[in-house]
Structure 1
Amino acid sequence: MAAVSVETVSNLERRMTIKVPLAPLEGQIRQRLQQISRTAKFSGFRPGKAPIGLVNQHYGDQVRDEVYSKAVETSFGDAVEQNKLRVAGFPNIEHLPFKDAAEEFEYIATFEIFPEVAVGDLSKVKIERPALELSDADVEKTLDVLVKQRVSYEPVKRASKKADRINITLTASIDGQQVESTGDRGIDLVIGEPGRVSEFDDALLGGKAGSEKTFDITYPADHNPAQLAGKTVTYDVKFVSVSQPVYPEIDAEFAKNLGVEDGNLDTMKSEIKQSLVQEVDKRIKARVKESVFQALVDETSFELPKAIVSAETNRLMQAAAQNLRQRGVDPTQVPMEPAVFETQAQRNAKLRMVLTELVNTNELHATADQVRAMVDSFAQSFERPDELVSWYYADVKRLDEPAALATEENVVAWVLDKAKVTNKKIKFDELMMAGA
């Protein structure tokens, strides 16, 4: 049995010294060498007939390293369990070369442990639940959005203005180094559509087919993706074409295109309102959930393991790089500093640990019925919901996402039962635009 001593380096850091006797491992080494000898090929010997000494000469060091490495893994796991330590991240293992060991080998494992997570007094927490009663005007606004979503465009010879669709070729550079280019392939943009900084679209006003523009955009410090935050980007743009919007009439044909078979406009508006009720409920729940999560972060204080924050920072950086690739930007050309992601990484790590503690302590894991209800809610928007449900249940791993979301709903309900919850009236536009 390995000898173990544990040293407290800091609040979360531990240094564990473990001595592993070699005698019990020698039998494993001999057994492994005998297995190799049955198939090993050596000049002058038939397979399986080579002397064990020759096998040891060729494979002994390799086998010894494998057995000793496995012993490190096993003894560390046993030591952690015996000392009731919850290891955060991967340990740093240090030891002398295995070949220098005599009767035992010693190694030192340095690692962090998870902190104790104690949630504060949630009875003092104030949560505002958005309250909204849909009106006919809200339905009309949504109908207007549906009309605009079905817009078509016709070419014009005039200069571009807001709501026009322009086709442009574009190159972008930072400090003289190109970071994005459409090449000779034009891309379509609608001037004024959400998702871009307004200064960019403003610079595209007044352009005619065949004209060119060069302009600089300095992105705000809180811009997403973070790699462009605070950066000045130079754009060279050539206008290929300018087209103006043409909107459909709200008539029976329009209603049929929305799925109303008889084209009745009143039925169409009724169905729009029903869909809005579901969407409003979904957004209110999302708002409340985020308020609850923020309260849990604010009301809980503990030291975060550096290893966990580092892992989450790396995850965020990889996600940002993937986002850039999807936008046609080479992430290697955009400097990404870990410090930019650290604040978000700390919040994510802290929230995850708090949620885990609450779920385990208060038995808030989702039940099978709750998971099924979540899957059914996913399937509602599909033409063949039964097929989607079958797909989820065909592989138990696919249920991880709905199970996690259902468990989060349990946490939210648990917190709301303890917190001070008040309803706050909210405007339709404010709710629908948030996070759009």
Structure 2
Amino acid sequence: MQVSETLNSGLKREIKVTVPAKDMEARLMERLEDAKNKVRLKGFRPGKVPLQHLRRMYGKSFMAEVVNEILSDSSKSIIEDRGEKPAMQPEISMTENEKEAEKVLAGAADFEFSMSYEIIPPIEIKDLADIKITRPVYDVPDEEVEEQVKRVADSVRTYEPKDGKAEENDKVTIDYAGKVDGELFEGGSATDSELVIGHNQFIPGFEEQLVGLKAGDKKTIKVTFPAEYAAQHLAGKEAEFDITVKQVAGAEELVIDDELAKKLGLESAEKLREIIRGQLENQFGQVTRQKAKRQLLDALDETYKFEAPSKLVDAEFDNIWAQVTRDLEQANRTFEDEDTTEEEAREEYRKLAERRVRLGLVLAQIGEEAKVEVGEDEMQRALIESIRRYPQHQQQEIYDFYRQNPQALASIRAPLFEEKVVDHLLTQIDVTDKKVSREELLADDEDEAETPKPAAEKKAAPKKKAAPKKAAPKKAADKKAEAE
């Protein structure tokens, strides 16, 4: 086998490989000799089939197997011998001329092919102690825990029908029909819809106008959809809702005691507070970790500047761009709506793709040197968690797919490995903790307006009667539009 380098430019490599016809012939004869003692042909005793007869019958198919074997084995061994790490699977090219291919399969010509690939550049890990970050830490106060406890308690609160006018914290059952420009709009009507005044389930200004109404009352409520409302055809529009009050119910007195805790499946109010504090600290802790990780990645990005393999960047950009365009399409928005152009957006997301690839390679190198590993138990838990997102009848099929496809399984391992490397780095770099307020911790965070909700609150929620779908509620409609 003759191996020669035909391209060495930056990270790009191209290798030409020639396997002489005599070597191809030798490999073919080995296969024929092996088949001679195994094949059963009519008219011939076992092991007595002439080689030339076998060659006429199986020569081309055996030689095709030889070709595939060479391509599979040699591409890997050649790169290993060169001490290189390919960024992606090498691209193989060989003759497309049918007559030349026939000569190779007949053993009458040398087999030639070329391999083109990009290498992962050598990455020398610098002193990690030189990296310094400030980790924001929020101590959850007792008042915030108590506020969450009240929210949980409110989720299992009972209501009793009452005579008289609706007040703050009363539950009202209403029929409503929404109109924009005098026309009913899709999803803007519902019957027997329940809401608790003051819980801000509906768009701003809606619930407040129910105060003072009683069962049997009718009223037209005027509101304006928020300018940032997810359903674009309603954003900023004035609307009228014709309301009929079906029932007004008052809430029982809110008492945080052991009896309430038992309704939630816990033994005491003290245990409820303990669980909620732990959940809040965990969820705010996740924000702390994400901010620390972001600082860490920014520092690594500044420290390591090198050319990233273009094929990896292209693949990462394609993934990002597909998500961006899909999100815009679902939101019925354009790049102009986002105060940019497609060209500018492409440029920005290309830079993001390059950053992700470079950081991915740096983290991989750090993880390799630190001997970071993802255990089989960790992989199994992550895989099970992933397939739970699919319908139950598909889960076994999805599980088998992942277990049988190394590349698919790698997509499960990659984020686990990254987080473990980040954990390792946070023990190696200079980290200073800084106490901050809740607002400071959540500043510049996409969900800064959202208070992390403890699992106990989510657990209690199903005990409430599910509300019918409607366009007027702020949170439900916004989330639906974003999902679509």
Q: Normalising TM by the smaller chain, what interval?
A: 0.5 to 0.7
1:124-179 residue CA offsets vs partner (Å, 9 max, x unmatched): 5441111222222221332344356668975313577xxxxxxx9569xxxxxxxx
CA–CA separation in structure 2 for the residues paired with 1:190 and 1:20: 79
Aligned to 2:88: 89
Task: List per-residue Cα deviations over 1:320-345 (Å, max 9, x = no partner).
Answer: 89999xx999xxxxxx9994864443
**Gap runs ≥5 in structure 2:** 159-170, 179-184, 210-217, 333-341, 386-402, 404-408, 448-484
Shift of 1:113: 0.5
Change (3 A) 1:217 1:47: farther
Task: Tell me the equivalent position of 2:39.
Answer: 38
TM-score, normalization by structure 2:
0.56
The alpha-carbon deviation at position 116 of structure 1 amounts to: 2.0
> In structure 2, do the counterparts of structure 1 residues 288 and 320 end up closer, same or farther at CA, with 3 Å as the change threshold?
same
Structure 1 residues 423, 246: closer, same or farther in 2, change over 3 A? Answer: farther
Q: Is contact 1:119-1:299 (8 Å) kept?
A: no
Q: Distance in 1 between matches of 2:5 and 2:22?
A: 24
Matched, 1:142 2:148: yes
Deviations 1:47-84 (A, max 9, x none): 99876545534543332222113213322222212221
CA gap 1:216/1:311 in 2 versus in 1, 3 angstroms: same
Q: Counterpart in 1 of 2:372?
A: 365
Hey, what's the Cα distance between the residues in 2 that align with 1:99 and 1:406? 52
Q: How far off its partner does 1:302 sit?
A: 0.7
Report if aligned partners of 1:21, 1:104 keep a CA contact under 8 Å in 2. Answer: yes
1-side partners of 2:152 and 2:88: how far apart? 49
Deviations, residues 260-291 of structure 1 (Å, cap 9, x unaligned):
324x4x55334433443344334323322232
Structure 1 distance, partners of 2:308, 2:196, is 45
- Residue identity matched to 2:120: F
Amino acid at match of 1:411: L
In 1, the alpha carbon distance for the partners of 2:52 and 2:228 equals 72
The amino acid across from 1:260 in the alignment is L
Distance 1:131 1:110, change over 3 A: same
Q: Does 1:312 align with 2:319?
A: no
Q: Shift of the alpha carbon at 1:89?
A: 0.7
**Using the alignment, how far apart are the partners of 1:64 and 1:246 within structure 2?**
85
Count of residue pairs brought into register by the alignment? 360
Partners of 1:254 and 1:71 lie apart in 2 by 72
Greater Cα shift, 422-431 or 293-302: 422-431
Find the structure with the greater CA-based Rg.
2
Q: 1:235 to 1:275 in 2, by over 3 A?
A: closer
The one-letter code matched in structure 2 to 1:111 is Y
Aligned-residue CA RMSD in angstroms? 5.7
For residue 110 of structure 2, the aligned residue among 98, 104, 114 is 104
- Residue of structure 1 equivalent to 2:423: 409
Change in 2 beyond 3 A, CA 1:56/1:411: same
Offset at 1:201? 6.1
Aligned-pair CA distance for 1:115: 1.0
Counterpart CA distance in 2 for 1:245 and 1:21 is: 90
Amino acid at match of 2:261: A
Structure 1 residues 137 and 353: alpha-carbon distance in aligned structure 2, compared to 1, 3 A threshold: same
- Percent of pairs identical after alignment? 23
Asked if residue 428 in structure 1 is aligned to residue 438 in structure 2, the reply is yes
Q: Give runs of aligned pairs for residues 21-420 of structure 1, distance below 5 A.
A: 21-33=20-32, 35=35, 38=39, 53=52, 55-96=54-95, 97=97, 98-101=101-104, 102=108, 104-119=110-125, 125-147=131-153, 155-157=173-175, 234=233, 249-252=254-257, 253-262=259-268, 264=269, 266-316=270-320, 339=346, 342-361=350-369, 363-365=370-372, 405-414=419-428, 416=429, 419=430
Separation in 2, partners of 1:27, 1:158 = 85
Q: Distance in 2 between matches of 1:322 and 1:9?
A: 38
Q: Check conservation: 2:103, 2:109, Cα contact below 8 A.
A: no
- Counterpart amino acid of 2:368? N
2:60 maps to a residue whose letter is: D
